Amino acid sequence: MRLPLLLLGASGIATARVHPYLYGVPKGPGTDINELAEIETVSTADNITLTNTTQPAPSTAPLAPATPGLAEPCAVVSSAVAALPSGARKVVPAELGMRCLQSVPLDKEGNVQLIDDLKLYLEWHSNLAYLKNPPPDYTEEPVDIIGEMNSMQKQLNSGGYTNEYDFQLDLNTLLNRAYDNHLAWQPDILAGVMQFQRPAGSELVSVSADGVALPEVFAYRDLELATQNETFKPSPIRTINGQEVEQYLQSVAVQADFHDADTRWNALFPSQALIASGVTFLGSFRTGKYQGPNTTMAFSNGTVKTAMNVAVVLADLEGVDNGQRLFDKFCQGPQPTSTSSATSTATITSSAAPSHTGYPKPVVIHPNLSLGGYHLNDTGYEDVAILSIPSYQSPNVQLFQDLMRDFIRTSVSMNKTKLIFDLRGNGGGNAILGYDSFKQVFPQAFQEPFGGTRYRAHEALDTIGQMTADFAANKTFVQTNATAFAENFEDTTQDDIILYTAGFNFEHQLDVDDKPLSSWNDMFGPNQMNGDNFTNEIRYNFSDEPSYTYPGFSVIGFLNNTNETQTPQPFKAENIVMLHDGMCSSTCTIVSELLKNQGGVRTIVVGGQPQFKPMQGIGGTKGAQSFEWDDVQIRSQIVFFLGSPAQQAEWNTTALGKTAFATQLFKRSAYSGGRAAGGINLRDNLRRADTSQTPLEFIYEAADCRMWYTAPMIGDVTMVWKGVVDRMFRGGGNGTMGMTGCVKGSTGDKSSVTGGGQGRGGEVAPGVQGEQGGGGLSQEFQGAARGEREILVWKWSLVIACIMGFFVY
């Protein structure tokens, strides 16, 4: 058996992120925002006064007796968890959990090989050169991923690490410094054994007293309590663990993988939109990396609250009595599938209609809560429709399209003239829906989604592209040898292989001018930019199903929906606005790019650091397509097994063969949904006519307007939407396009629509020859190991729920 592929569905060019959150979403039972249980506080100071609370306080796991046999930290953790009553939360003091993890011995040789594997797979990551040498308006520090990995290998060989946990933390942090949601490695210990949390009730929120003054930080539950008890006056937090609150929170915020400091600030706190959609995102302050044994908050009114931080035990530690046993049990490859989920999701039953938690009754709603349509009917807001889209993950893309189309048509028939795209918290999903969402509101034939993309050009990609072209021409070895095909692919058909490799088939791509490509070389290039090689810019062909790999689905204006180009535009561009909180990634950024830079749609952003200045609407990855680690491996294996014995012997010494049969990366990753958690950004997204060819990830784009959260908004989403209307549609002329009441200093940035930044290109990176970006939109868009290889495949029955093409998150 070589490469059995079990194809479960044709869900195409995108899927939701497989790797689990490492921050923001508490794992384990009892993590809901409304949970009342508190971990018993352990004070490190005298005269502690707790905030007003009625929560019961059960104890943490009892510590095991201090006997010689239980002196090892992991033995203490294992014994303590075993002593808990059935159904209790498996928590231990965070400091004890950290001591256990740091007792795991270092696997020096294995980690050197792990980095070698990662470097092979990072050849596929599209923007390594731009991370190392970013353009001037990129807001984050440069990071040389490969160079620092080389340094880590030297540290390993010279004794620079003493335990496995510290190595994993450094490597994970290095990748996180790319601030790219598509680039991640989730290691077995760091992501699979324990999760560090502050106790329930420690969630925070940042709100302005009146929407004008700079926001202050409060306890989330104090604001909830104030809505129930008019006599209770919440007091802002002044210090955390002895540091000024903003300074402390900035030190915690960096663990979030967003390329914008304001977005990382927002990610510290519970997300209204994500919680509504069933994802218990309570913020990186509540859940993330180890932050010490206790958390002490001092409030303006003199109140001080101290609580013990905890480690939630996710794995079965039975028999784990020291760090070596933990390594032997959890660092040898995939663990048995857990029944718990990495994220809490809404439970939809037949007895109750689905709904967004805490939202008003919807006009339409997707069963998985990825989409909801709402109308504001209060006096002065009767003409407003809202599309709340906290996710583009939809198992049924046709249903998503139908619901959005129905809502838009219903809204128009009810004389709704203004539309808010509420994209807060949207981490992506099915990429085709991003293009389709644009066409829903700009159906005209000339408004064809641009969607220019490119790959990083490297050796393995070139081999895969050449072999894909040979396969399409029926020229590969296995196509002339039926026995070899059957031995290598078993029940996998040639049609399956076509779908798996469609993204590398030049026949299913278009050039930048929407013309067919003539050959693989016509697609591959390569072109040198910023000291690296890239393919030629390509576009999807929305009239060719293999190009976007969703059989039977037609984007508005194409194939079965071609007639919809005659549909009148439902809302004027100036009457559409995007609502962002920075936490928009992947597919969300695809639709945002199209709405802004083709459609001329304005953006308002909410929250961010307490500063009077502009804020970007998008802080997540703007990459056009992601691949999980096994997406890269399986396609490498497919091409390897298409080859003749002579070709395979040659490939055994090249990046293709090494990538196809890498093992250490898959052995030392955490798993989620049966897949190694992590991956790369496969394709850059590029702007139309941008001569700098800068990936969108590295182009600064301020929102047109910014607003603060106020206390009433935290519990009432309609107050958020009304705040958008009041600021974006109520103003007068004078070049403001109807805007008024925006945060001081937040408007008029040159990168915004109202500042003249529609279609603005990127800037050339320092030391790189080339034209400065700018380009601009065309007039029509303006304003509107050889013997063991069968074993090394791990005898997988590779179950890929979304098999084809471009995985976007």
Arithmetic mean of pLDDT, 334-350: 47
Count of alpha carbons within 13 angstroms of residue 711, beta-carbon side: 20
Helix-helix angle 164-176:108-122, to 10 degrees: 20
CA distance 766 to 133: 7
CA distance 189 to 195: 10
Say what the pLDDT of residue 720 is. 98
Arithmetic mean of pLDDT, 615-633: 96
What's the whole-number average pLDDT of the chain?
Answer: 87
Within a domain: residue 47?
Answer: no
Say what the pLDDT of residue 737 is. 66
Within a domain: residue 49?
Answer: no
B/e letters for 658-684, b = 16+ CB within 10 Å, e = fewer, are bbbbbbbbbbbbbbbeebbbbbbbbbb
In this structure, are 437 and 397 located in the same domain? yes
Instruction: Choose the weakest-confidence range: 14-23, 96-105, 398-407, 763-772.
Output: 14-23
In this structure, are 370 and 499 located in the same domain? no
pTM metric for this prediction: 0.90
Give the model's confidence band at 352: pLDDT under 50 very low, under 70 low, under 90 confident, else very high. Answer: low
CA distance 803 to 577: 34
Domain boundary among 270, 303, 336: 303
Say what the pLDDT of residue 738 is. 76
CA distance 549 to 430: 11
Whether residue 793 is predicted with pLDDT greater than 80 in this model: the reply is no
Higher pLDDT, 617 or 22: 617
Whether residue 16 is predicted with pLDDT greater than 80 in this model: the reply is no
In this structure, are 672 and 536 located in the same domain? yes
Domain boundary among 303, 320, 354: 303
Query: Each residue of 461-507: pLDDT tens digit?
Result: 999 999 999 999 999 999 999 999 999 999 899 999 998 999 999 99
In Å, what is the CA distance from 287 to each residue of 193, 206, 268, 313, 750?
15, 17, 9, 13, 36
H or E, element range at 247: helix 245-253
Say what the pLDDT of residue 28 is. 63
In this structure, are 686 and 723 located in the same domain? no
pLDDT-above-90 percentage for the chain = 79
In this structure, are 718 and 734 located in the same domain? yes
Higher pLDDT, 115 or 674: 115
Burial of residue 226 (CB within 10 Å: 0-12, 13-18, 19+) is middle
In this structure, are 386 and 417 located in the same domain? yes
Within a domain: residue 159?
Answer: no
CA distance 122 to 460: 12
Say what the pLDDT of residue 802 is. 37
Query: Each residue of 222-278: pLDDT tens digit?
Result: 999 999 999 999 999 999 999 999 999 999 999 999 999 999 999 999 999 999 999
The count of structural domains within the chain is 3
Whether residue 799 is predicted with pLDDT greater than 50 in this model: the reply is no
Question: First-to-last CA distance in the chain?
Answer: 32
Domain boundary among 696, 720, 749: 696
Angle in degrees, CA 354, 358, 359, rounded to 5: 70
Whether residue 676 is predicted with pLDDT greater than 80 in this model: the reply is yes
Query: Each residue of 120-135: pLDDT tens digit?
Result: 999 999 999 999 999 9
In this structure, are 666 and 741 located in the same domain? no
Query: Each residue of 163-213: pLDDT tens digit?
Result: 999 999 999 999 999 999 999 999 999 999 999 999 999 999 999 999 999
In this structure, are 641 and 739 located in the same domain? no
Query: Each residue of 268-300: pLDDT tens digit?
Result: 999 999 999 999 999 999 999 999 999 999 999
Whether residue 801 is predicted with pLDDT greater than 90 in this model: the reply is no
Arithmetic mean of pLDDT, 560-589: 96
Tokens representing 739 are 């805007």
Give the model's confidence band at 796: pLDDT under 50 very low, under 70 low, under 90 confident, else very high. Answer: very low
Query: Each residue of 736-772: pLDDT tens digit?
Result: 567 999 999 999 999 999 999 999 999 998 877 544 4
In this structure, are 205 and 275 located in the same domain? yes
Say what the pLDDT of residue 30 is. 47
Arithmetic mean of pLDDT, 304-332: 96
Whether residue 214 is predicted with pLDDT greater than 90 in this model: the reply is yes
Say what the pLDDT of residue 688 is. 95
Give the model's confidence band at 22: pLDDT under 50 very low, under 70 low, under 90 confident, else very high. Answer: confident
Burial of residue 35 (CB within 10 Å: 0-12, 13-18, 19+) is middle
Whether residue 309 is predicted with pLDDT greater than 70 in this model: the reply is yes
Give the model's confidence band at 444: pLDDT under 50 very low, under 70 low, under 90 confident, else very high. Answer: very high
Within a domain: residue 192?
Answer: no
Say what the pLDDT of residue 27 is. 77
Whether residue 604 is predicted with pLDDT greater than 90 in this model: the reply is yes
CA distance 295 to 545: 54
Strand (E) positions, 149-248? Answer: 184-185, 194-197, 204-207, 216-219, 237-240, 243-244
In this structure, are 464 and 536 located in the same domain? yes
Instruction: Choose the weakest-confidence range: 148-162, 329-343, 715-729.
Output: 329-343
Within a domain: residue 262?
Answer: yes
Within a domain: residue 398?
Answer: yes
- Does residue 656 sit in helix, strand or coil? helix
Residue 618's CATH number: 3.90.226.10
CA distance 249 to 255: 11
Within a domain: residue 418?
Answer: yes
Query: Each residue of 400-415: pLDDT tens digit?
Result: 999 999 999 999 999 9
Residue range(s) defining the domain that contains residue 253: 200-303
CA distance 146 to 722: 47
Say what the pLDDT of residue 14 is. 45
Within a domain: residue 440?
Answer: yes
In this structure, are 386 and 486 located in the same domain? no
Q: How many CB atoms lie within 10 A of CB 696?
A: 23
H or E, element range at 192: helix 188-192
In this structure, are 656 and 574 located in the same domain? no
Whether residue 220 is predicted with pLDDT greater than 60 in this model: the reply is yes
DSSP 742: P
Whether residue 343 is predicted with pLDDT greater than 60 in this model: the reply is no
In Å, what is the CA distance from 17 to each residue of 79, 83, 514?
35, 35, 30
Whether residue 800 is predicted with pLDDT greater than 50 in this model: the reply is no
